Amino acid sequence: MAERGFILDDVSFAYGDKQALAGLNLQIEPGCFYGLVGPNGCGKSTLLDLLMANRNPNSGGIKYNGCSLQQYGRRQLAQQLALVPQDFTIHFAFTVQEVVLMGRHPYLPRFGAVGKDDLAIAQKAMAAIGIGDFAHRYVTELSGGEKQRVVVARALAQETPVLMLDEATSNLDVGHTMEIFNVAQQRVRKQGDTVIAVIHNLNLAAAYCDEMIFMKEGKVAANGPTKETLTPAIIANVFGVESQVNHDQFSDALQVSFRYGSQ
């Protein structure tokens, strides 16, 4: 039986001369919520691009479900992996529903039309994210936060076992952020999906992630269960800030508090 999930074996990647990732060894298992954290420019988005096979490693290999990522076709991958990118600009006046339906593209034959099932899946995704009300509005008229939710719904409509979120809630208020993370968490718990989320807010990560991957300067600084990795020592090493980590009863999760201000 082939190993499920991702296995990264000594993966390195460089943009021209600039080394972005160096010697990454990771295992990403199904049925887990992964948080990918680290300072700006530490290679988080690049790692997602490699996992999506949008870019290929310069050395080392990535296996998904036992096969090298490069052996999959684009369409096959699109039925396995969905990505919510940081950039959510949509350049033409498609309606919200049309954009969400684009999530069904990997399943449609080239000249095939969108079927009833596809429409039902798209509507379910829109309802889950709470954008069902503006299905027929133009995406170009929406606010940044609304657009971001449309893009998340599009990724959900793709119905893939792996969902990657690249700062998918950067423009959202706390309510809408929780809405999206709750939907993602449900998929991990109920369907055994994998979620890999780049998150800047450590407390948000602490509340949702089963596993944390701390990155620093293109390397994995620490990775493992949130309980073990979310420590003041690791936070200090990765982000260079002083912090305290306590269990918070109200949220029933680890929460980080920082010493703000300069001394």
Partner 1 sequence: MTRISSQNSSKRVATLAVLLILALVGMVVLSTGMGFIQISAGEVLRVILDRITGDTNLTAGLDPLFSYVVMDVRLPRILTATIVGSGLAVCGVLFQGILLNPLADPYTLGISSGAAFGASLALLANITFLGVYSVPLFAFVGAIATLMVVLYLSSFDGQMSANTLILAGVIVGAILAAGISFMKYMADEQVAMIIYWLMGSFASKTWMDVFIALTAVTGGLGVAVFYGRDLNIMSLGGRSSDSLGVETARVRKILLITGSLVAAVCVSVSGIIGFIGLIVPHLMRFLIGPDNRRLAVVSALAGGFLLLCADTVTRAVLPVEVPIGVLTALIGGPFFCYIFRRRQRGMVYG
For partner 1, the binding residues (CB under 8 A) are 15-16, 49, 52, 54, 74-75, 77-79, 81-83, 85, 87-95, 97-99, 102-103, 105-106, 108, 110, 136, 138, 140, 151, 154-155, 158
Q: Toward partner 1, which CB reaches closer, 14 or 221?
A: 14
Q: Toward partner 1, which CB reaches closer, 104 or 216?
A: 104
Residue with token string 């709470």: 130
Closest approach of partner 1 to the CB of residue 118, in Å: 12
Amino acid symbol at 73: G
Closest approach of partner 1 to the CB of residue 184, in Å: 16
Closest approach of partner 1 to the CB of residue 113, in Å: 10
Q: Toward partner 1, which CB reaches closer, 67 or 174?
A: 67
- Please give the Cα distance from 27 to 133 (Å, whole number): 40
4: Cβ–Cβ under 8 A, 6 or more apart, which residues?
A: 29, 30, 65, 66
Q: Toward partner 1, which CB reaches closer, 49 or 179?
A: 49
Q: What is the DSSP letter of 80?
A: T
189: Cβ–Cβ under 8 A, 6 or more apart, which residues?
A: none
Q: Are strands 6-15 and 18-28 parallel, antiparallel or unpaired?
A: antiparallel
Closest approach of partner 1 to the CB of residue 251, in Å: 32
- Please give the Cα distance from 106 to 110 (Å, whole number): 10
Question: 35 with 230: CB under 8 angstroms?
Answer: no
Q: Toward partner 1, which CB reaches closer, 74 or 190?
A: 74
Closest approach of partner 1 to the CB of residue 6, in Å: 15
